[in-house]
Every structure is written in C-alpha cells, then in structure tokens.
Amino acid sequence: MAQSIAPPSSAAPASGAAVPTLPLKTILPWAFFFGLLMLVLLYFVGAEQGATSLFSGTDVHEWVHDGRHLLGFPCH
C-alpha cells in the first residue's frame, strides 16, 4: 500500500509564526501604475486607428492587429 511521507520538520511553519503582510501604502502605487498601463494597452489594442486615433497612418494598427482579433475587437 502507499505510504504517506511527512514533510521535514523545517518545512512546517512554527506554531507562533505570522504571515508577513504588505502595507497598502506600498502596494497602491504599483497597482495604480499597472492599472494605468493596462488601460493604455487596452486603448491601443481596442480603439487606436479608429475614431479616436492619436497617430496618423496604419502603423499602430499593424502592430496590434493580431491582438485585436485575439481579444475579440473587430478591425475590418
């Protein structure tokens, strides 16, 4: 029959060990930065080269063309 193998005693947490926490002040700027970065990326993939185009030409459209189809945005 199968035997269960107990983890080594060094892998088990100490009885009084607390889980380390990060203060909100350290996480909030990074969360805001990545959220803003995702919104900019979503704009370029979903809306650039349309009615709200910031750049002339079709360069941005060609760079994000496959991403548009992957995310379900119509482009042609």
pLDDT tens by residue, 31-49 = 999 999 999 888 888 777 7
Q: How confident is the model at residue 28 (pLDDT cuts 50, 70, 90)?
A: very high
Helix ranges (H only) for 1-76 are: 24-46, 59-71
Residues 6+ away with beta carbon under 8 Å from 69: 75
Q: How confident is the model at residue 6 (pLDDT cuts 50, 70, 90)?
A: low
- pTM for the model stands at 0.57
- Output the pLDDT for position 59: 80
Burial class for 49, CB neighbours closer than 10 Å (0-12, 13-18, 19+)? buried
Helices and strands in the chain, H and E counts: 2, 0
